[in-house]
Amino acid sequence: MVVRGALAVMIILLIAQALVHRTSSGSVPTVTYGLYPTSSLGAIYDFSAPNGTECELTYASATKASAYCIANAMPVHHVLLDAHGHYTVCRGMQCGSNPPLGTPTYTAGIRLVLRDITCLTQTDGVTCRLQGHGGFHFTSTDVTRLTS
């Protein structure tokens, strides 16, 4: 009976060690969004980063996809990257908007994927990339364009 108990404990410890190794191997937790199943609109998903940055990922087709992020704190600014790689930054009070109610806030280190758009939440903001078109790093005070 003691041998069986010791064997069971050893097996549990081996399984626990394997699980810890798997989760600490550097993989990034990922949220993969899908298209709305009954809509021709594609998909629109909103999320917040730890620093209060609000973002929206939109996908209607390969030519109608975008990543949009906004900071409503001073200085108010937003960025829009569309499916063609066009990059637009707006600065000033006219650039503000409010996220929908119930927008989830993700901790730093979460990857969000909607088709060709990938965003990574970080403590200082969000980095979004559109496959083949570069992207941007967005903080509460500035936005930096990233090349492909």
The residue range of the domain holding 49 is 30-146
Q: Is the pLDDT of residue 19 over 60?
A: no
| Residue 15 forms part of a structural domain | no
- How far from each other are the two terminal CA atoms of the chain, in whole angstroms? 62
| Residue 35 forms part of a structural domain | yes
| Residue 43 forms part of a structural domain | yes
pTM of the model: 0.76
pLDDT of residue 25: 35
Specify burial of residue 46 (Cβ count, 10 A radius: 0-12, 13-18, 19+): middle
Q: Is the pLDDT of residue 118 over 90?
A: yes
- The total of structural domains in the chain comes to 1
Confirm if 86 and 105 have CB atoms less than 8 A apart: no
- Taking the C-alpha atoms of residue 31 and residue 37, their distance in angstroms, rounded to an integer, is 17
Q: Which of 122, 147, 123 shows the shortest CA–CA distance to 135?
A: 147
Q: Is the pLDDT of residue 96 over 70?
A: yes
- Helix-strand-coil percent breakdown of the chain, rounded to 5? 15, 40, 40
- Taking the C-alpha atoms of residue 124 and residue 143, their distance in angstroms, rounded to an integer, is 11
Q: Is the pLDDT of residue 73 over 80?
A: yes
Mean pLDDT within 99-119? 91
